[in-house]
Structure 1
Amino acid sequence: MGDTPNYITPAGMKSLIEAHRALFEVERPKIVEIVSWAAGNGDRSENGDYLYGRKRLREIDRELTRISKRLKNARVIDPAKQPDKSRVFFGATVTVADEDDRQRTITIVGEDETDTPRGHISWRAPLATALKGAAIGDLRSVRLPGGVQELEVVAIAYPQ
Structure 2
Amino acid sequence: MSIAFVREKEGGEAFEDLPDRPVSPHTNFVTPAGLEQIESEVARLQAEAAKLDPDAKADTARVTRDLRYWTTRLGTAQLVAGVPGDTVHFGSTVTVLREDGTRQTFHIVGEDEADPAKGSIAYVAPLARAITGKGVGDVVEVNGHDVEIAAIGAG
What is the TM-score with the length of structure 2 in the denominator? Answer: 0.81
Could you tell me how far 1:99 is from its partner in structure 2? 1.4
Deviations, residues 26-49 of structure 1 (Å, cap 9, x unaligned): 211221xx33xxxxxxxxxxxxxx
Native 8 Å contact 1:140 1:151 kept in 2 = yes
Given candidates 37, 51, 63, the residue that maps to 1:30 is 51
Native 8 Å contact 1:95 1:153 kept in 2 = yes
Given candidates 54, 58, 79, the residue that maps to 1:55 is 58
Q: Distance in 2 between matches of 1:74 and 1:59?
A: 22
Q: Helix, strand or coil: the match of 1:90?
A: coil
Could you tell me how far 1:9 is from its partner in structure 2? 0.5
Number of residue-to-residue matches in the alignment:
133
In structure 1, what is the equivalent of residue 37 of structure 2? 15
Unaligned 5+ segments in structure 1 are: 36-49
Could you tell me how far 1:83 is from its partner in structure 2? 2.8
| Structure with greater helix share of residues | 1
Could you tell me how far 1:3 is from its partner in structure 2? 7.7
Amino acid in the other structure paired with 1:67: W
Could you tell me how far 1:5 is from its partner in structure 2? 2.5
In structure 1, what is the equivalent of residue 124 of structure 2? 124
Aligned pair in 2 of structure 1 residues 72, 90: CA closer, same or farther (>3 Å)? same
- Percent identity of paired positions between Structure 1 and Structure 2: 34
In structure 1, what is the equivalent of residue 136 of structure 2? 136
Deviations, residues 16-69 of structure 1 (Å, cap 9, x unaligned): 001101110x211221xx33xxxxxxxxxxxxxx3xx11110110101111111
Runs of 4+ in 1 over 4 A off after TM superposition: 1-4
Amino acid in the other structure paired with 2:146: E
Deviations, residues 59-86 of structure 1 (Å, cap 9, x unaligned): 10101111111111110000x2x131x1
What is the TM-score with the length of structure 1 in the denominator? Answer: 0.79
Q: Does 1:149 align with 2:142?
A: no
Native 8 Å contact 2:84 2:154 kept in 1 = no
Given candidates 67, 70, 79, the residue that maps to 2:70 is 67
Amino acid in the other structure paired with 1:134: K
Deviations, residues 80-99 of structure 1 (Å, cap 9, x unaligned): 2x131x11000001000111
Could you tell me how far 1:115 is from its partner in structure 2? 0.7
